[in-house]
Amino acid sequence: MTTFHELLGTDDNCSKAEIKKKYRQLSMKLHPDKEGSQALMRILSLAYQQVSKGNGNKKCSEVTIQRDLNNKAQQQQTVDLKKQVTLLIKEKTQLQALIERYQQEVGHAYNAGENRARQTLVLLQTTNNGLNEQLVLLQRQIDSSESNGCLSENTFKKKCIAMVSAALVIIMLAGGGIWYYQAQHSPSLVLLPVPVTVQVKSVNTTQPATVANVDVVNNADKIMMTDTVGLWQQRYYEGTRQPYIAVRSIDGSYIVKDCEGTFSYYFNRTHHSTRVPANLIFSANDRQFSVYRIPYGNGSSHQQWLNSQSLSINKNIFSNNGYKSSSLALASVCNNTVPF
């Protein structure tokens, strides 16, 4: 077999300068630019390196075999690396599936928390409306006492204390429910405490009152009056006790929604002219109100009130504040699942 000395034309007695000289002479002849080739230059370079290291008597085949072994080791290392990459891809897929499952569980938990918060809000509104009815009853008793003198000062104070205590309970329940919901979930949904919406006017029980000052209550189907402007509230018709929700404008007109989903406009004639838009259909009179159904157009659909901050009807601005929760509560009452 050919040795590196034979390829380079050297022997063990040649000095480094002579080896280098031989390499340069052969390089000029075997260079690709001098009718040589890259393969011959690689062989010449290998021979020069081995002779310079003192391996001139080694056969060329031994070095080639060693390089083949190195290549096999590299190939095995490549195979091992590919296996590791495959395992990492599999692990990544499993982790991605686990992340998606956890995200779904978080979504389900959020929806469940939102439903619980809505149920809490409906319960608070139910309690609030019960308190409103008690306050209305107390107001009537106060008005009656002004003419009959049958309500003592002590009884009046006790009932007022009871009303204030109930109001404080509602505020604490609302605050606790809101805190729990915000602590468990993202703050995208904010629940506002339900206000006590019926105001009791101040009465001096020591002053006499005439029968002319007493409000006469008619048992006909009438909406309940309120001083609160721009907030949808749950109410009952005074004659039939049928539930409805309503919002009051600053001029004393109302928008009313009943169990049938029908919207009505209670037009306060004391503050407006008698002209109304074409989509308002007259149906009845109620005290100072002319009652109009809204079968189509502005203010006639649930989505309009749900998606708008306010609607202008007959030049009256009606807010949608509290509409969503009040509408949910009305649906529950109309389906005989939850009382106001």
Identify the CATH number of the domain in which residue 17 sits. Answer: 1.10.287
Residues in the chain: 340
301: Cβ–Cβ under 8 A, 6 or more apart, which residues?
263
Query: Which pLDDT does position 255 carry in this prediction?
Result: 93
Between residues 207 and 74, the one the model is more confident about: 74
Domain presence at residue 72: no
Of 19, 39, 58, the last residue of a domain is 58
Number of Cβ atoms within 10 Å of the Cβ of 153: 10
Query: Which pLDDT does position 234 carry in this prediction?
Result: 87
Domain presence at residue 17: yes
- For CA atoms 331, 335, 338, 340, the dihedral sign is positive
Query: Which pLDDT does position 148 carry in this prediction?
Result: 58
Query: Which pLDDT does position 186 carry in this prediction?
Result: 40
Of 217, 184, 197, nearest to 287 (Cα)? 217
Render pLDDT for 87-100 as a digit per residue (tens, 0 to 9): 888 888 888 888 88
Domain presence at residue 248: yes
Structure token digits, residue 122: 């409906």
Residue range 45-71: mean pLDDT, rounded: 74
Domain presence at residue 259: yes
Calpha distance 63→66 (Å, rounded): 5
Query: Count of domains in the chain?
Result: 2
Largest CA distance in the chain: 143
SS3 196: coil
135: Cβ–Cβ under 8 A, 6 or more apart, which residues?
163, 196, 198, 200
Contact 295, 281 (CB under 8 A): yes
Of 337, 306, 326, 320, nearest to 125 (Cα)? 326
DSSP secondary structure letters along 249-273: -TTS-EEEEETT--EEEEEETTTS-
Of 43, 58, 73, the last residue of a domain is 58
Render pLDDT for 107-146 as a digit per residue (tens, 0 to 9): 777 777 777 777 777 777 677 777 777 777 776 777 776 6
Between residues 334 and 189, the one the model is more confident about: 334
The least confident of 184-188, 205-209, 238-242 is 205-209
Percentages (nearest 5) of helix, strand, coil residues in the chain: 55, 10, 35
Residue 324 has pLDDT above 50, yes or no: yes
Domain presence at residue 183: no
Q: Which helix (H) or strand (E) holds 169?
A: helix 153-184
Structure token digits, residue 161: 């204390």
Residue range 60-85: mean pLDDT, rounded: 73
Residue range 165-187: mean pLDDT, rounded: 51
Percent of the chain with pLDDT over 90: 5
Predicted confidence band of residue 318 (pLDDT cuts 50, 70, 90):
very high
Predicted confidence band of residue 254 (pLDDT cuts 50, 70, 90):
very high
Domain that holds residue 269: 218-340
Domain presence at residue 261: yes
Query: Which pLDDT does position 208 carry in this prediction?
Result: 38
Residue with tokens 């409306």: 129
Residue range 236-245: mean pLDDT, rounded: 84
Q: For the chain, give me the number of helices (H) and strands (E)?
A: 7, 8
Query: Which pLDDT does position 4 carry in this prediction?
Result: 79
Residue range 38-42: mean pLDDT, rounded: 82
Domain presence at residue 127: no
Structure token digits, residue 45: 């370079």
Calpha distance 296→278 (Å, rounded): 10
Render pLDDT for 260-315 as a digit per residue (tens, 0 to 9): 888 998 988 887 666 778 888 888 888 888 888 999 988 888 998 988 888 988 88
What average pLDDT is seen over the chain? 74
Between residues 329 and 157, the one the model is more confident about: 329
Domain presence at residue 252: yes
Query: Which pLDDT does position 256 carry in this prediction?
Result: 92
Predicted confidence band of residue 232 (pLDDT cuts 50, 70, 90):
very high
